[in-house]
Amino acid sequence: MSETYDAIIIGAGIIGTAIAFEMGKMGYTTLNIDQLPAAGYGSTGNSCAVIRTHYSTWDGTAMAFESLHYWRDWPAYMEAKDESGFIRYVNTGCLVIKSRHYDTDKAFRYHKELGIDYERWDPAKLREKMPIFSQESFWPPRRPEDEQFWEKSKEKITGAIFVPCSGYVSDPQLATHNLQRAAEAKGGKFMFNKEVKAIRKSHGRATGVTLHDGKEIETSIVVNAAGPHSFVINRLAGVEGDMLIKTRALRHEVHFVPAPKGFNYEKDGYICSDGDIGCYSRPEVGNRILVGSEDPECDSKTWIDNPDHYDREVSVDQWKAQIYRFAKRVPSLGIPHKPVGLADLYDVSDDWIPIYDKSNLDGFYVAIGTSGNQFKNAPVAGLMMARLIDACENGRDHDKDPVVIKCKYTELMLNAGFYSRLREINQESSFSVLG
């Protein structure tokens, strides 16, 4: 393995591998370094891999819409084979539950503007399509330890928005492996079980990295794609203080429950974003349902100071909160005796919108702050980063004159300046996993 590369990418998750592939296509030699044994073994491996288009901003919606086409067109996008096979895009469609408290007109105005198909389902249509769903409204989301959780509902939900194109990716780790193989076919290299311990610099520019075993590797471009470790790497590079938007690691639990008897959720279930109970859900193999929290106010947040050490076991309290809330929507749900699920980390930015940007250290770039919602956007994030890096390396001042990319499927123009580290906190954000 040669010891100099055009670019070193710290991290081989879905974001780091997508950047490697896109930079490889542009002729850059890249090396992804990951402290774990294989690609996609970090937070990507535990992603729910939901591919949906509703975001609270125009830019978020447009990026998700463009990215959706990559997932649908995955084998062609890869331009290479993978001996492990390719992921499947499972097109379930996505339901967004409407209640008096959720302004769907605001949330879906960008769908209208961007021409993304969606349907308004009234309560009767929702009942026809999802007969196992209760139509009571439970707003605001509460936890079972709150006495009011057990009170009878006094209102009804008002139907749902249905987005037919949404779905999920069968295996997020395999998706990352696919991208690794695609990057390798363009000349990219990967190094596993190696931890980056220092960012080397000279005269205000990144010049390489030092690994935990003392080995030094030279380069003139370093990309931070370290997921929930992003703030650790930013501190190593000395760039965190200059960023107006910062990142932190947040612990998040996802739980699995068997579908109600007699209902084939795998075939007939949808992805569902249900702000009325503060949960998202999707069909999972084995006729199970995956349930996550949409971070309502009642769920306290567990910020993690050291992303190498956090509790990976699901907690009975959080499991009860999510599954009991979900059982309000699906009263026929059988509640298992034991919690089953996983705990992993989101890399959360101050406004839950990612940072795809340069930094104040020349040659050091960041693709971070993915806030529990950027698996779906990785192909376009990879392209945006590759274009941004190339432009900056060729003298463009991206802070003053942001890079804009033209989307190949939707022909939309995406302004990378939206994801700047120097932005004000975006008040249009949902400040949740919904982005």
Ligand X SMILES: Cc1cc2nc3c(=O)[nH]c(=O)nc-3n(C[C@H](O)[C@H](O)[C@H](O)COP(=O)(O)OP(=O)(O)OC[C@H]3O[C@@H](n4cnc5c(N)ncnc54)[C@H](O)[C@@H]3O)c2cc1C
> Tokens in use for 339?
């919690």
Structure tokens given for 251: 């612990």
Name the minimum Å distance from CB 64 to ligand X. 8
Looking up tokens 């987005």, which residue turns up? Answer: 163
CB of 124 to ligand X, least distance (A): 29
CB of 368 to ligand X, least distance (A): 7
Closest distance between ligand X and the C-beta of residue 32, in Å?
Answer: 9
Considering the complex, what minimum distance in angstroms separates the CB of residue 219 from ligand X? 14
First to last CA, the chain: 40
Contact positions vs ligand X (CB under 6 A): 10-16, 33-36, 41-44, 46-50, 195-196, 225-229, 252, 254, 344-346, 370, 372-376
Q: Which residue is nearest to ligand X (CB)?
A: 13
Helices 378-393, 14-25: axis angle to 10 degrees equals: 50
Choice between 249 and 392, CB closer to ligand X: 249
Per-residue DSSP letters for 183-237?
A: HHHTT-EEE-S--EEEEEEETTEEEEEEETTS-EEEEEEEEE--GGGHHHHHHHH
Which CB sits closer to ligand X, 34 or 357?
A: 34
Contacts of residue 394, defined as CB under 8 A and 6 or more positions apart, other chains included, come to: none
Q: How many CB atoms lie within 10 A of CB 122?
A: 12
Q: Which is nearer to ligand X, 135 or 376 (CB)?
A: 376
Q: Minimum Å distance from CB 156 to ligand X?
A: 28
Question: Toward ligand X, which CB reaches closer, 137 or 273?
Answer: 273
User: Minimum distance from CB of 169 to ligand X (Å)?
Assistant: 8
Cα(104)–Cα(109) distance, integer angstroms: 8
**C-alpha distances in angstroms, 156 versus 100, 105, 160, 325?**
9, 18, 12, 16
Q: Is 311 exposed, middle or buried (0-12, 13-18, 19+ CB in 10 A)?
A: exposed
Residue closer to ligand X (CB basis): 234 or 373: 373
| Residue 19 vs 137, nearer CB to ligand X | 19
Between 34 and 66, name the residue whose CB sits nearer to ligand X. Answer: 34
Is there a contact between 356 and 388 (Cβ–Cβ < 8 Å)?
yes
Measure the CA–CA gap between 78 and 191, rounded to whole angstroms: 21
The smaller minimum CB distance to ligand X, of residues 146 and 308, is found at 308
Shortest Å distance, C-beta 215 to ligand X: 12
Distance CA 232, CA 235 (A): 5
Strand partners, 47: none
What whole-number distance in Å separates Cα of residue 348 and Cα of residue 231?
Answer: 10
| CA separation for the pair 111, 106 (Å, rounded) | 10
Q: Which is nearer to ligand X, 10 or 380 (CB)?
A: 10
Residue 346 phi/psi, 5-degree rounding, is -90, 150
Q: Minimal distance in Å, beta carbon 38 to ligand X? A: 9
Contacts of 130 (CB under 8 A, 6+ apart): 95, 270
